[in-house]
Amino acid sequence: MEWETVIGLEIHTQLSTRSKIFSGAATAYGAEPNTQACAVDLGLPGVLPVLNQEAVRMAVIFGMAIEANIAPYSVFARKNYFYPDLPKGYQISQMDHPIVGVGHLDIEVDGVIKRIGVTRAHLEEDAGKSLHEDFHGLTGIDLNRAGTPLLEIVSEPDMRNAKEAVAYMRKLHELVRYLGICDGNMQEGSFRCDANVSVRPKGQVEFGTRAEIKNINSFKFVEKAINHEVERQIALLESGGKVVQETRLYDSVKDETRSMRSKEEANDYRYFPDPDLLPVIIDEAFKAQIKTELPELPDAKKQRFKVDYQLDEESVAILTASRALADYFEAVNKKSGCEAKLCANWITGDLSAALNKAGLDISASPINDERLSGLLTRIGDGTISGKIAKQVFELLWQSAASADDIIAEQGLTQISDTGAIVAIIDKIIADNPNQVEQYRSGKDKMFAFFVGQVMKAMQGKANPAEVNKILKERL
């Protein structure tokens, strides 16, 4: 039988606010255990939540970016269950009235564009962490993460294979970073994915029974976990078995999913409106204000880069992967006055390689757009050759000096003075009669020999176009 896979994703993005969603404790990652858990985060008696404005702003801007309905009225609800990383015995989340309603995201797989529906996105608080290292057979609880704002983005079951799921997840990952609402750091858990996976005989309209795979923390694992789960379900069904609706955990070491019975047991979350919090009202003025803050989105930017700069697909993809890099490119293009292709080549080539090697993000680049522009300007106006430029680039990376200072200091200016070039060429022709003979008898390859000799004699500073022209005349 031919099977069809159906996938829906729930993605938890940690919003990059300074303080928590309902308290004034810091959200910074990596602090000593429980040093960023205040009375509210710890669920001490009598203390109360107050909603962080920034979390609301971030949710709304996300909703606008996916062209979703922003709820004029949204409600926080309590989701009740007992777990040691959940201090109050309930999670403050949203159930019936999420802040972001139906929207969509377009993905591209193998050149085909597909629209994936977003059912909703709601605000909630993150839980703490259980540390399973052995404390005399006990578990340690760190509540620093408790209360960190999350935007849970729930997709429609619109994806049909793991590749689409990964494309959707990557697209969302790019978007939230573009919007500046999430740092996207998957190792630190800022961007986590639960996948709902089911299979059905091809052509069947009803969905199969789904399993939820929890907490998948990399793109690679999403693909593997889904593929694995699909295989498991198909094998199960083909051998006459039945898929059970359950929560499964992906084990990246063993590359398998396994049932999480502990989480399954009699879940009845008893959602009800949190009486400590009032409805969140979002009016037109608030929305209008946020609309002005909405940056150019990835798809629009890609399109513009293709059209306005006439760049190839690959360069566009690299340059628009982050807003910071795209901004950098546009600044260099504008400041250097050089053509877009030259700017793109340097940024996607030498600069990206150097940043990768140093493990730096564009925002931490030792060469800022101003200094790279200085370099490109001098390539453009013929002051230095491309080869010399690479030398200058090295020095730009290592020092704080400008390209012009480095060129002047090191005497790297390109020689375009015809007289000087003619003198050198004449000397080389005189010194190499055999090679001249060979060239003239039709061995065209010898031309490169003469270019090399000239460049060597002039320490690479000769303008290559001039050298070619004069050599042809003289030979």
Partner 1 sequence: MHNKTLAELSLGLQAKTFSSVELTQCFLDRINQHQQLNAYITVTTELAMAQAKAADQRIANGTADLLTGIPIAQKDIFCTQGVVTTCGSKMLANFSAPYNATVVDKFNLAGAVMLGKLNMDEFAMGSSNETSYFGAVRNPWNINSVPGGSSGGSAAAVSARLAASATGTDTGGSIRQPAALCGITGLKPTYGRVSRYGMIAYASSLDQGGPMTRSAEDAAIMLQAMAGFDEKDSTSVDVPVPDYRANLNKSLVGLKIGLPKEFFGEGLDENVAATLVTAIDEYRRLGAEIIDISMPNLKLAIPAYYVIAPAECSANLSRFDGVRYGYRCDNPTDLTDLYTRSRGEAFGKEVKRRILMGTYALSTGYYDAYYLKAQKIRRLISEDFKAALASVDVIMGPVTPSTAFGIGEKMDDPIAMYLSDIYTIAINLAGVPAMSIPAGFVAGMPVGLQLIGDYFSEDRLLNIAHQYQQVTDWHNFIPTGFE
Partner 2 sequence: MSLTADEVNKIAHLARLGIDKQDVAAYANDLSGMLDLMTRMSEVNTDDVEPMAHPMDQAQRLRVDKVTELNHREAFQEIAPQVEAGLYLVPKVIE
**Segment contacting partner 1 (CB under 8 A): 6-14, 224-232, 249-257, 271-279?**
271-279
Residue 453: strand, helix, or coil = helix
137 binds, among partner 1, partner 2, none (CB under 5 to 8 A by kind): partner 2
| Neighbouring residues of 410: CB distance < 8 A, sequence distance ≥ 6 | 391, 392, 395
Question: With respect to partner 1, which residue has the nearer C-beta, 267 or 418?
Answer: 267
80 binds partner 1 (CB under 8 A): yes
Residue 275 binds partner 2 (CB under 8 A): yes
Nearer to partner 1, 78 or 120 (CB): 78
3-state SS, residue 273: strand
State yes or no: residue 273 binds partner 2 (CB under 8 A).
Answer: yes
Decide which of partner 2, partner 1, none touches 357; Cβ closer than 5 to 8 Å per partner kind.
Answer: none
Is 33 a binding residue for partner 2 by CB under 8 A? The answer is yes
Binding partner of 289, given partner 1, partner 2, none, CB within 5-8 angstroms per partner class = none
Note whether 73 binds partner 1 by CB under 8 A: no
The tokens describing 200, both together, are 């059905």
| Residue among 113, 225, 89 nearest 168 (CA) | 113
Q: Figure out which of the listed residues 51, 354, 451, 457 binds partner 2, where binding follows CB under 8 A.
A: 51
Instruction: Find the binding residues for partner 2 in span 102-161 (CB under 8 A).
Output: 130-132, 135, 137-143
The two tokens of residue 184 are 């996207």
Shortest reach from residue 23's CB to partner 1, in Å: 10
Smallest gap from Cβ 19 to partner 2, in A, equals: 5
Q: Which residue among 13, 19, 190, 348 contacts partner 2 (CB under 8 A)?
A: 19
| Contact residues for 116 (Cβ-Cβ < 8 A; gap 6+) | 104, 105, 106, 107, 155, 156, 158, 159, 164, 168
**Closer residue to partner 2, CB minimum distance, 13 or 155:** 13
Between β-strands 246-251 and 211-216, what pairing exists: parallel, antiparallel or unpaired? parallel
At its nearest, how many Å lie between partner 1 and the CB of residue 139?
8
Query: What CA–CA distance (Å, rounded) separates 94 from 439?
Result: 81
Nearer to partner 1, 28 or 44 (CB): 44
Shortest CB 193 distance to partner 1, Å: 27
Is 442 a binding residue for partner 1 by CB under 8 A? The answer is no
CA-to-CA distance for 139 and 144, rounded, in angstroms?
16
Please tell me the distance from the alpha carbon of residue 21 to that of residue 24, in angstroms, as a whole number.
8
- Selected range binding partner 2 among 44-52, 101-109, 162-170, 380-388, rule: CB under 8 A: 44-52
Binding status of residue 43 toward partner 2 by CB under 8 A: no
Closer by beta carbon to partner 1, 266 or else 400: 266
281 binding partner 1? (CB under 8 A): no
- From the list 143, 193, 144, the residue with the least C-alpha distance to 166 is 193
Q: Does 381 bind partner 1 (CB under 8 A)?
A: no
Q: Which of 423, 417, 410, 425 is nearest to 455 (CA)?
A: 425
Is there binding between residue 180 and partner 2 (CB under 8 A)? no
Query: Is 45 an interacting residue with respect to partner 1 (CB under 8 A)?
Result: yes
Contact pick of 35, 245, 310, 363 for partner 2 (by CB under 8 A)? 35
CB 37 within 8 A of CB 72: no
End-to-end alpha-carbon separation of the chain, Å?
75
- What is the rounded distance in angstroms from the CA atom of residue 124 to the CA atom of residue 127? 10
Burial string for 136-167 (b: 16+ CB within 10 Å, else e) reads eeeeebbbbbbbbbbbbbbbebbbebbebbbb
The piece of 42-50, 214-222, 242-250, 415-423 that touches partner 1 (CB under 8 A) is 42-50
Cβ-proximal residues to 135 (8 Å cutoff; 6+ apart), any chain: none
Q: Which does 90 bind (CB under 5 to 8 A by kind): partner 1, partner 2, none?
A: partner 1
Q: Is 95 in the site for partner 2 (CB under 8 A)?
A: no
CA–CA dist 165, 107 (Å, integer): 9
| Least spacing, CB of residue 280 vs partner 1, in Å | 11
- Exposure string for 418-434, b = 16+ CB within 10 A, e = fewer: eeebeebbeebbeebee
Kindly state the greatest CA–CA separation across the chain.
98
Which is closer to partner 2, CB of 134 or CB of 206?
134
Binding site for partner 2 (CB under 8 A): 17-19, 23-26, 32-40, 42, 44, 50-56, 75-76, 82, 84, 130-132, 135, 137-143, 249, 260, 262, 266, 268, 270, 273, 275, 277-281
Binding site for partner 1 (CB under 8 A): 39, 42-51, 78, 80, 82, 84, 87-90, 141, 268, 270-272, 275-278
